[in-house]
Amino acid sequence: MKLWTIIGPAGLALLASAVPAGTAAPTAAAAPQPAHAVRITNSPRILSKLSASAIHQAGWSSSNWSGYAITGSTYHSITGSWVVPTVQPSRGDTYSSNWIGIDGFNNSDLIQTGTEQDASSSGTSYGAWWEILPAAETPISSMTVHPGDHMSASIVDNNNGTWTITISDTTTGQSFTTTQSYSGPAQSAEWIEEAPTVGGRVATLANYGESTFDPGTVNGGNPALVANDGGVMIQRNKQVSTPSLPDSDTDGFNMAYGSTTPPAPQS
């Protein structure tokens, strides 16, 4: 199923607002580029108040991120594998992204790649993308992503001011690679479930059910994840996304929609 085919009321209003007075607003079908490709940004972590229920489940909380992030070094490469979750249709537009990235946890730089899983009353949509802030995400139109697909990705510093981003759907055999300039400080590395920013606001997280990030590496080795590296997502004073403890070989974890901590994956 192709990504960025759903345009809800907010998206239509955004399109209409861009049309000069006296000119008929384009319909969704007539838009030259799908609205989601323009409006979605996977942003740096936005801090939120850590609720009492989250204190014993994670080291940090955010209104747009959940998953695992590590700091304390300079990161020249990251890899990650995850299962594309199945999102549930919703009354309004809801969004989710699974991704790996470098930077963004404690600064406004970020280089990343991942998958998008969105929903509305009209149905669901899936796809792959890459992004370097401050630009919005770039959809990868050459890849078709389905729920349940196994994804693998890497981001590697080429030591010449450029980084190579690769994302593969190992279920279908599709793959995409791009080399881009990036000058961020590389102070954090992440494996994240995100509620992306849509139209300038953090979106409501889609009900993604469950997903697994496993395995992952940083700088060519085991990331040695610990519980304090994990973070939960809190929206409207409600915990909506929760990671498990790290697995026994400290390179992976499970994610679950809601406030219940899932079991760690078997290593």
180's tokens: 């881009």
| pTM, two decimal places | 0.82
d(CA 267, CA 264): 9
Burial class of residue 250 (count of CB atoms within 10 Å of its CB; 0-12, 13-18, 19+): middle
- The confidence score (pLDDT) of residue 95 equals 96
Task: Say if CB 199 and CB 110 are below 8 A apart.
Answer: no
- The confidence score (pLDDT) of residue 170 equals 97
Written as tens digits, the pLDDT of the chain (267 aa) is 223 333 333 333 332 333 334 433 333 222 222 233 334 666 666 655 544 444 445 689 999 999 999 999 999 999 999 999 999 889 999 999 999 999 999 999 999 999 999 999 889 999 999 999 999 999 999 999 999 999 999 999 999 999 999 999 999 999 999 999 999 999 999 999 999 999 889 999 999 999 999 999 999 999 999 999 999 999 999 999 999 999 999 999 999 999 999 999 997
d(CA 124, CA 72): 38
Domains and CATH numbers, the chain: 9-257 (2.60.120.700)
